[in-house]
Amino acid sequence: MDEEREKDPERVRSLKKLLGANIRKARRRLGTTQEQMAELLRMSPEVYGRLERGLIFPRMERFVDICEKLGESPDRLLGFTAPEALAAKPATRQDEWLSVMQRLTPVMPRLTSPQSMAVRRHVLGLHRLLTTFIHPAEGRAARSRKGDPTS
């Protein structure tokens, strides 16, 4: 029993390091800085840096939030998924869209009112376009309600 207790701190330390390294890799894949991720997660950059260096564990709620923001599974961040399988996975369009949205989210509060309105207008236009591909009848109905001559 005493031998297990002696191994436990080392295991915890190595798991913190592994989690921190995997969070850092996922953040870098998204092309965001530590400061941007800290802001997105509503935590200080100092605490986020300690997390990436493997000095602390996040609370469960924070860990779930980190997984969501990074678009990663808990298994992957905790190192339960084989690294070979991870390297072979190509980036998908969904990954690209997630990256765009994650970069946009922290910027939105700093935009001026006209800039914010322009971004919302473009995103709404993209949403309408995507709706026409997913549900063509809804897209036609929306255009006819707006008086769109292309319907």
Residue 108 lies in a domain: no
Kindly state whether residue 42 falls inside one of the protein's structural domains. yes
Q: pLDDT at position 97, please?
A: 67
Q: How many angstroms separate the CA atoms of 51 and 47, rounded?
A: 6
Is it the case that residue 55 has pLDDT exceeding 90?
Answer: yes
Q: Is residue 35 part of a domain?
A: yes
Does 18 or 128 have the greater pLDDT score? 18
Give residue 150's pLDDT band: very low, low, confident or very high (50, 70, 90).
very low
Domain assignment of residue 117, yes or no = no
CATH code where residue 41 lies: 1.10.260.40
Cβ within 8 Å of residue 46, ≥6 positions away: none
Would you say residue 34 lies in a domain? yes
Q: What is the rounded average pLDDT of the residues 120-145?
A: 68
CA distance 57 to 46: 14
How long, in residues, is the chain? Answer: 151
Indicate the pTM of the whole model. Answer: 0.54
Task: Report if residue 49 sits inside a domain.
Answer: yes
The pLDDT score that the predictor gives to residue 137 is: 63
In a domain, residue 82? The reply is yes
Range of the domain at 43: 2-89
Domain count along the chain: 1
Per-residue pLDDT tens digits for 19-52: 999 999 999 988 889 999 999 999 999 999 999 9
Q: 107 lies in a domain?
A: no
